[in-house]
Every structure is written in structure tokens, then in C-alpha cells.
Structure 1
Amino acid sequence: MIGAASLVARRRLSPQQIGRAATLALHDELALAPKPGLVTLTSRGSHEDMDAHTFMRSLFSLRSYFVRIATLGREHAPFEALERCGIEAEQRMLAATGGINTHRGAIFMLGLLCAAIGANAQDPRAALLGLWGEALRARSSERRSTLPGGIAARRYGLRSASEEAALGFPVLFETALPALREGPSRLHALFRIIAVLDDSNLARRGGLEGLRFAQAQARRFLADGRIETAEAIGREFVHRRLSPGGAADTLAAACLLVRLGIG
């Protein structure tokens, strides 16, 4: 029997295939409900400035970005080229949403993942670390982020998104992807991510106490597994204005890998 990784390698995924899967993966995340504090097709979650329509405008603005960065990955372009591509994508996103940050984290995470898949669909984590690991490590250690999530990560001693990338996205490959592969649902996978991720979005909104509360609630759902529990946790997240955006990005990244038969 031919394994999934062998099939991926054999069919040589095109940048267009990778980009389409990335866009659909972001829609997979948006469509999942009930999610605690996050935007869904019918709820704003903990966000007053965005809804599903905002997310859809953002998604359409990013379609060409994922194709372009997958192409750069196939060409083994330097990290600086990937970074410029991401900055341009962020500008298009903000123009499409009227200045609202819907997908900045996804531009970073799924963009790097698309590049890595473009470089080596059989082992994107190895490609990420082999081609751009040194640049990512330098970025995480030498550049002080001025974005809210990066500031919160420094303040509370958390592992930032840049540090997570420099390590080859361990929560994605060691928690999220196995959870999505094993089932029983994307919702369970999301809560498994929330339970372990140093989500700077949660820390920014609720401090370290908010992050630990969210992680404890995720473990509560995983022990219980009932939709009613997820809904109750969601109401509490909204009351506390908590939104696990980093976990949402990680789930979308796992959906991308599953869509492409990787992992």
C-alpha cells in the first residue's frame, strides 16, 4: 500500500493546489461551531469589530498570496522574500477589511506552511527548518515584536508565534495534526490545541490568568466532550472577552495539511 506522504510526493502538488487548500482550510476554521470566543458563520464571538462577512472579504484577498508564497517555497526563495510577500498580503487584507486584523496570524503561519509544502510536500516541517530555520531563529531572538501578541508573549514569558515557527510549529505537528487525524471532530482538535498552546491572543485579552483559565476550560471539555459544555465555555469566553486566535490559526494549518493528505 502506498502511504499518504508517498502519494503527496508523487503527485507534486502545484502552488495553485496548495493555495486553494489554504483558503479552504481558513474557511474550515471559520465554519466550525460552536467555537469559544471566535468568529463563526453565525456569531461574532468575543469580537465587536468583525463577523463572518469580514472574514470572507479577508479570505478572498488572500487567495493569490498563498499561491505566490507556495511558488516562492518551490523556488527555495530566501526568507526575506517570504517576509515581503507576507507584508504585502497583510496590506491587502487590511484594505479588504477596512483596517481590521482578521488573519495576520494566519498570514504568518499558513504562509510559512504553504512555502514549506511547496518546497517539500512529503516533509514540510523538515523543509521549513532546513530552508528557513536559521532565519526564523534569528527573527525570534533578535527582533522585538511591536504587535500586541508579541508584546503579550514577552510580558508573560510565553512562547511567541515567532518562536513556535522557529521550532517548526511543534503544537501543529505534535498536537493539532494528530488530533485532527484521530478524531472525533475538529472541535475536539481545537480544544486540544487551546489546552497546550501559549496563545498570546488569550494572554493579550485576559492576561496570564485568562490564558490559564482558557486552558483549564479546554481540558474540561476534553474530559466531558459534550456540545453543551462547549457552548457554556463559549459563553464564558465571550463574557471575559477571550478569543483563542492562535489556536484557530493552528487548527486551520492542520486542516490545510489534512486537505493535502500530509502527515
Structure 2
Amino acid sequence: MAPAAWLKRAQVRSCALEGEAQSPRAGAHATRADSRRAAPSDAQLAHYASTALIDEAQLTPKPALVDQRGSGAHRDLDLATMLCSAQALEPTFAALARTARRRGEPSALLRTELAQIGRAGEQDMLRATGGSNAHRGAIWIVGLLVAGAAMDACAVSPASTFAAASDRRSTAGHTEHPDASQICTRAAQVACFPDRFAAPSDSHGERARQRYQVGGARREAQDGFPHVIDVGLPALLAARAKGIEENAARVDALLAIMASLDDTCLLHRAGLPGLHAGQHGARRVLQAGGSSTPAGRAALAALEHELLSLNASPGGAADLLAATLFLDMLAHHRAGRSPDPWNI
């Protein structure tokens, strides 16, 4: 993205913050801000990132994905492997946070250093799982957000403010939440720098991205994680606001992401029929009332049956749900509440 575009986005956020400073409630907001906990340490960021991967893996039921019922459409993965991978990546996330905090600002040098750490972390993951590529996409997606959070002195404000922020839309249709958006923006700025030492990629996702001319994980990051900020977090918080229990709220957030994401995992495994099955099926579940309703559960079972028949699974959406849960944990940390209060 051009530097002018980043400047414009920064100016919009600056104006929004200035407007809030003029609010009659500014004093109350400042008092609450002063009472928040300090920004999380590198070790805490790494723990939250690993926990987000664990929570995503354990979330059940997920359509055609590894969960507590089984391996879904995957023959080389199971829940134990996913949990082992998530735990093995915690030192990688800590190194990403430490490096980003030391550099302080997005730069080409930081991009190079983070890429080297990520590649080393991928090897750690492969060794820990016996060669299973459980979280390659998550190293990129969640790892960049870890770096963005480490660079951001304000971290994330309480999760409850996301609900109010979901009503404030820019002309581009993006949720305007200054703190979470700032983390995503910093991560996106890093992603926009080239990885100078990367070998030509022949990953499944890259092949699908080129064949079907979709953005993939790279574009998602460079665009500022729109499926996290504008889809996943608002869906999660809207479900909670309706009183939906936490497990179903998280499943519905996953479905909301699936409904609009051009998931390269679906495209790789089943082409356009797989992508359309995932998107349309997710919409049907949500239109039926979500995974907490009888009609929604029936639609979810039908979606899973169709994806399994195509040997397809929405792995890209799963990575973005983990990113959503990571930012949600940061919100609870800053609010002085347990970052993982739901005990699902």
C-alpha cells in the first residue's frame, strides 16, 4: 500500500481520537484508561497467541476442521497434534514480540527479522508435530499481530468498546476502533515490506492464490486484517451481546469469517465448488439463527457434510478466528479482566 494511503488512515484515526477527546465523557474515559493494566509483556503476548491457537483447535463443532470430535477433512492432523503445534510456537511468538518491541516501528529491517524468526518457528513446529504443517498460516497471521501489539504502547482497550465501535463505520465500511485498528495497521505496515530472503513460495495457499486470483493470507495482512476487525470481532461481540453462550458465539464468528473469505485452503482442496460450498453454507447457518439454534445446528451439520464430501476444510478462516481470539484476549488484559474468562 502506498505511504500516502497509510498517512490518510492515520489521519482519520487521529481525527477520531481528537473528537473523542472533546466528548463530555472524556474525563471518565481517561479515568478508566488510567486504571487499565499495563501493556502485556512479550511473554504474555506469546502466551495469549499460543492460547488463541489452542482455543481455536478445541472449539467444537467446526465444519470439516480438526476439533474435539475428530480430524474433519484432514488425514494428517488431529487435535493432539494441533495442541502440540500451538505449544511449540509459544517461544516463536515471544521472539517475534521481543524483536518488534526492540525495533519499535515497522520497517524493512523488522520485516526481515520477523520473517527469519517465523521460518525458524515453522521448523520448530514441524519437529514438534513429526512433520505436520499444523499452523503455518497462523505463524504469519497471528505472528504479525503479536508484533503489532508489541509495537503498540496502548495495546487494546476493553472488549466492550468493540461493541460500540461496531456502529461507527468509515465510508469504506471498516469498523473504526482506534486501538485494535492500530495494532492491525502496524502489523499490516510490516507485511507490506518485502521479505528479501524468502525463497520462491510453492505452498498450497500460494498456488491457490495465483490460480484463482484471490488475495490469500498475504493480502489479508497487507489490507489490515479486515476479516478480523470488520467481521470476526464484531460477530463475536454481537453474539455475546445477544446472550449466546461463548462456544456458540465463537463458532458463529468463524462462520461469519467463512461467509465472505476467499479461503485458499478451500480453494486448494476443492477449487471453486469448495469455496462456494463453504461461503454459502456458512451464510445459511447464520441466516437460520446461528449455531445456537436448532435450525442453525441442522444447517451447520449439512455444511459439514458437504465440505467433507468435497474433502475441503476452511483452514484460512480458522487462522483468522485465532487472530480474532488473540485480539479479544488483549482487550480483556487491558480491561484488567482474565484474558480467558469463558472456560469453554
TM over 0.5: yes
Q: How does 1:1-263 map to 2 (within 5 A)?
A: 1-2=28-29, 6=33, 11-76=38-103, 78-120=110-152, 121-122=155-156, 123=179, 125-127=181-183, 129-130=185-186, 133=189, 136=192, 138=194, 145-183=201-239, 184=244, 185-224=249-288, 225=290, 226-261=296-331
| CA 1:245–1:178: 2 relative to 1, 3 Å | same
| CA 1:201–1:132: 2 relative to 1, 3 Å | closer
In the TM superposition, residue 146 of structure 1 has moved relative to its aligned partner by 1.6
Q: Secondary structure of 1:75's match? A: helix
Cα offsets for 1:13-57 (capped at 9, x unmatched) = 111111111111111111111111100022100001110111121
1:106 touches 1:249 (CA, 8 Å); kept in 2?
A: yes
| CA 1:148–1:176: 2 relative to 1, 3 Å | same
Q: Secondary structure of 1:44's match? A: coil
In 1, Cα distance between equivalents of 2:36 and 2:45: 13
Q: What is the aligned residue count?
A: 261
Q: Which stretch of the first structure deviates more once superposed, 225-234 or 208-217?
A: 225-234
In 2, Cα distance between equivalents of 1:213 and 1:132: 29
1:113 touches 1:124 (CA, 8 Å); kept in 2?
A: no
Task: Look up the equivalent residue of 2:120 and give its one-letter code.
Answer: E
Q: Which stretch of the first structure deviates more once superposed, 221-230 or 196-205?
A: 221-230
Task: Look up the equivalent residue of 2:315 and give its one-letter code.
Answer: G
In 2, Cα distance between equivalents of 1:115 and 1:92: 19
Question: Percent of pairs identical after alignment?
Answer: 37
Cα offsets for 1:112-168 (capped at 9, x unmatched) = 0001001111435435544762652545xx986321111101101111211111111
Q: Secondary structure of 1:260's match? A: helix
Greater relative CO (CA pairs within 8 A, separation 6+): 1
In 2, Cα distance between equivalents of 1:79 and 1:8: 34
* Alignment gaps of 5+ in structure 1: none
- The alignment's C-alpha RMSD in Å is 2.5
Work out which of the two has the higher radius of gyration on C-alpha atoms and give 1 or 2. 2
In the TM superposition, residue 6 of structure 1 has moved relative to its aligned partner by 3.8
In 2, Cα distance between equivalents of 1:83 and 1:6: 34
1:44 touches 1:51 (CA, 8 Å); kept in 2?
A: yes
| CA 1:165–1:7: 2 relative to 1, 3 Å | farther
In 1, Cα distance between equivalents of 2:49 and 2:320: 12
| CA 1:68–1:137: 2 relative to 1, 3 Å | closer
In 2, Cα distance between equivalents of 1:67 and 1:51: 25
In the TM superposition, residue 190 of structure 1 has moved relative to its aligned partner by 0.5
Q: Secondary structure of 1:11's match? A: coil
In the TM superposition, residue 68 of structure 1 has moved relative to its aligned partner by 1.4
* Greater per-residue helix proportion: 1
Cα offsets for 1:32-85 (capped at 9, x unmatched) = 111111000221000011101111211121111111111122123611011111
Q: Secondary structure of 1:13's match? A: coil
Q: Secondary structure of 2:89's match? A: helix
| CA 1:106–1:134: 2 relative to 1, 3 Å | closer
Cα offsets for 1:204-228 (capped at 9, x unmatched) = 0111221012100011101112223
